[in-house]
Each structure stands twice: as structure tokens, then as C-alpha cells.
Structure 1
């Protein structure tokens, strides 16, 4: 199993706590996939600053291939200024830095096609590559997070194999949205519901799974780790229900620590 995270990476900075860590949806995803036993790569860009070094060092520590992590020596690594509201993360300010001009090179695209699947999101800046990558046999895992607007998701879903969303609660509106999203092309649509667990839809039936109880320290990374657990199951040939359980187990481990992995 070989997977790649493609797109946004950053450093989360909690200035009031004097703490920080390397992250990004796809960064967290590939770290967890690597820990689960997959071959994982990250394709993105950092600046030539100490934050960029921190990102590369963390990925190497987690046995993630960084051969296509680019460095803009004069640039600034992207950061998110963060805070906590109890145990819930709060995104205060995004500073894109070198991510603002990120784009894939031809060599990056060739490298990516050596993977079974890629993970990306709305900040990844690669939506225009998805159709081409899928035509070359790459499965696309897309994290929409809380972006449940049909105007935003609609153009991307036809080029997606596994679509992940986050909702506050399960209701008729959520079910209608999942059915609509699946009708546009994904194999499976997954919605995480916080403490209420998760729901997956494959076009035929809904699958539901609860959470694994854990002491909550910081909710950051819960969705990314759930996605990694679920996709490890799917790419290993597990059932949807087994994959949901693995997602719940992986997420429980993350929310028990401050960092998102």
C-alpha cells in the first residue's frame, strides 16, 4: 500500500501556550498511514526557515518520503495561529506563506502516479489535477471538512473516490446531502459527527459507527486521523464497517494527546 499526501502543510502555533507542531490535513493523514504500516509520501512546499526544517524533520522521523517536499529558501513556511476553547481547537489566523504559490511540477505528477491513492483538500491547490490523476489509476481521497456547501463540493466530487465531510449532527438534511454527494461520483461518502460517531454511504446503504471513548486533550487532528484509519481499512480490503471502527480507534488515540498524531 503506497499513499501520498498532496498539498497544504503548515505549523500550528499556540502563542499563548508557547507550543507548536507541524501539521496540515494531508500531513496528519500520511503520518498515521505510515504508523499503520503503509508506505507514505508528502508532496508540498515549505520555506527555508526553522519551521520548514521542523516539518521535514518530523516527516522523516515518521518514515514519510520527503523527496518531493520543495523548499523555497527565501520564503516563509505556512502557519496557523491557534488557540483552545476548552479542549476544542480554534483557528485564529492563517498565514499561507509559500503555500500561496504552490503548484505541482511535472516531476511531482509522475511521482504521485506511483502511489495507489492520494489525500488532499481544498487548501491543496491541486483540484485541476484530480481528473488526470484518476485517469492514471490513482484513487482520490478528498477531505472537505466542514465545507458542506454544494457550490463548493459539487465541482470536485466527480473527481473523488472517497469524500470526507464533518457535520454537527445526523439529520434528514445530512442524509440528503450524503445521497447527493454520492450521486456525483464518489465510491463512498463519509461524515464524521464528533462525539456522535460516523456515517458512511456506498450508494446502497448507510453504515454507522460510534466513537472509542478517550480522555480529550485536544480535538485537533481527530478528523485527519479518522480518515487515515478508515482509508487504511479500505485500501487493505476491509469492509466499510471494519474501516469505520479503525477510524474511530485511530481518532481516539489522537485526541488523547496535544499533537494531531
Structure 2
């Protein structure tokens, strides 16, 4: 089974610091590190490392762009098919990431070529793919058109509604599996969501189109609702170093395991184990575990 990921490709410029700066504050950090990132690229790498055949459709700057090769390095190592990658007359996307001592992070994104990626850059042939994985770092019109075309072609559409935006009913109507964190869930339902209302809020989104809604809850694991079932999956317990890659790891591995035929609860479990392992190392793609490591971690529990 083959997954098509349509999304952003960035280089990540990361600095470790004692804390995330407050507005107007300067905080001295450690050495800067350049690595591969972008939610689309991250999720493509995570899915490929979990054993899926993955193709990426996205955009980067030209050969003279200093961040082009760093942005593509992880995709190349993971053997992601880049035949759908577009070179545009714009800088490669760049994410500026501050990682605090407690593992939390703050991210500012300069979208660059990702912002120039339009519906005209989407694939014309959707044959050979069984699943499409989308996020919200490309223009809303692009994400919506991708969901429409994939849905019409009979693909299973997974949408990670990140970064958070207000709900687009048309997009949700063409989504099979919606994946959000608590902040993104609150943006979609238009209100603050407390722990005791998480399940109700997730259920309310089922009426807008998705057949499945998964809410990632960090150290509390994940909550998934369908019209007939609710699944609460415990987190894989780890010593947290950096949470930057956890969410994208979860999404990519979930898509990979679903595409391989795993039942939903099992796919959610494997996604949680992989996301936990990603928290034990710094970076986004650099933190993502291979499938053998995920299986070994499960055996040691």
C-alpha cells in the first residue's frame, strides 16, 4: 500500500535554551542546528520509517538555495519518493525553533516555497495510492482541493489539522480520519475544551464528515472516537528531551500502520510508541525511530 503525503518541506533552525523567551525578552541559547523539517516532510519520513511506501508532493527552492539540501536530507535517507516535488522560484521554507530545558518548544515558520505551492501543483494521477495524509501548513485552498481530489479518487483521507484553524466544513466533509491535539480541537469546535468534554467535542466533529477523530494528548496518550467506539490509548512512558517531532511521528506512523492493514486500536498503539520514542531525542526527523526500534521498545515494556 502506498501513502501520498501532500505538505510542507522546511529546514529547521533549532536552538536549545533554558526557557522559551517571553515577548520582548532575549534568552541566550546553545549552538544552532540545521535539520530537515516541515510537517509534510516530517510525516512522510515517519511513515516511511514505519515501513510504508511513501511519496511526497511539496515544494522547495532552487539548487542555489542554502536550505534546499538540508530540507531534503531526511526524505532522501528514508527513501521517500520525491518525483512529486516541485522546485519553485522562492526560498525553501524555514522553521525557527526554540526548545526549552523541559522539552517544550516554540516555533516560527517562514513558509517560503510552501506558500507558493498551489492547486496546479497537485498530482493529476492519483492511481496507485491508497491513503493521502494532509496537514495545514499549505494554503487552505490547496489542502481543500487535495482532499476533494483524493476523496473522489477513492483514497482514505487523513487530515492532521495543524496548525490550528477554524473549521472548514467542506474540508472536514472530505476527511475520513481527523487528527488533532487539544488546541486544534478547540479551534475546530470554537470553544475551550476541558478534559471532561474532550470526548464530546471529538464526537461533535463526526457529524461534519470524519468517520474517525483522534485527539493526541501528549503524556496522557490519545483519545479516538468513531460513531460506534471510543479508544483511549496510554502514552509510551519516556524521559522527554524534545517534543518537536512527536506529533508528526504519531501521524506518519498511524497512516503507515493503517495502510498496512492494522486494526485501528493497534495502529493507534504503534503510533503512540513511536511518538514517545521521538521525544527522547532532539529534532524532528532526526528524532524519529525506525520500525525495528519501535518493535523493540514495545517488547521491553
* TM-score, scaled to structure 1: 0.90
- Structure 1 residues 18 and 255: CA distance shift in structure 2, 3 A: same
Aligned counterpart, 1:99: 114
- Structure 1 residues 55 and 6: CA distance shift in structure 2, 3 A: same
Matched, 1:230 2:254: yes
SS at match of 2:167: helix
Displacement of 1:34: 1.0
Aligned counterpart, 2:84: 68
SS at match of 2:124: helix
Once the two structures are superposed, residues 38-81 of structure 1 have per-residue CA deviations (whole angstroms, 9 ceiling, x without a partner) of 11111111112121122233311110001111112x42111111
Runs of 4+ that moved beyond 4 A: none
Give the Cα–Cα distance (whole angstroms) in 1 for the partners of residues 208 and 69 of structure 2: 40
Give the Cα–Cα distance (whole angstroms) in 1 for the partners of residues 61 and 233 of structure 2: 40
Give the Cα–Cα distance (whole angstroms) in 1 for the partners of residues 194 and 225 of structure 2: 13
Displacement of 1:82: 1.1
Once the two structures are superposed, residues 98-121 of structure 1 have per-residue CA deviations (whole angstroms, 9 ceiling, x without a partner) of 222111436x42244431111111
SS at match of 1:238: coil
Higher fraction of strand: 1
Match of 1:84 among 88, 91, 99: 99
Displacement of 1:8: 1.4
Give the Cα–Cα distance (whole angstroms) in 1 for the partners of residues 225 and 163 of structure 2: 17
Matched, 1:157 2:181: no
Give the Cα–Cα distance (whole angstroms) in 1 for the partners of residues 151 and 177 of structure 2: 12
1:146 and 1:165 in contact (8 A); partners too:
no
Aligned counterpart, 2:154: 137
Give the Cα–Cα distance (whole angstroms) in 2 for the partners of residues 119 and 226 of structure 1: 12
- Structure 1 residues 170 and 225: CA distance shift in structure 2, 3 A: farther
Of structures 1 and 2, the one with the larger relative CO (CA 8 A, separation 6+) is 2
SS at match of 2:71: helix
Matched, 1:21 2:35: yes
Unaligned runs of 5+ in 2: 16-28, 184-192, 289-301
2:48 and 2:80 in contact (8 A); partners too:
yes
- Structure 1 residues 153 and 193: CA distance shift in structure 2, 3 A: farther
Aligned counterpart, 1:122: 136
- Structure 1 residues 221 and 112: CA distance shift in structure 2, 3 A: farther
Q: How many residues align?
A: 256
1:56 and 1:66 in contact (8 A); partners too:
no
Displacement of 1:90: 0.8
Once the two structures are superposed, residues 24-48 of structure 1 have per-residue CA deviations (whole angstroms, 9 ceiling, x without a partner) of 2221111111111111111111112
CA RMSD of aligned residues (A): 2.0
* TM-score, scaled to structure 2: 0.79
2:220 and 2:234 in contact (8 A); partners too:
yes
Aligned counterpart, 1:58: 74
Give the Cα–Cα distance (whole angstroms) in 1 for the partners of residues 91 and 70 of structure 2: 13
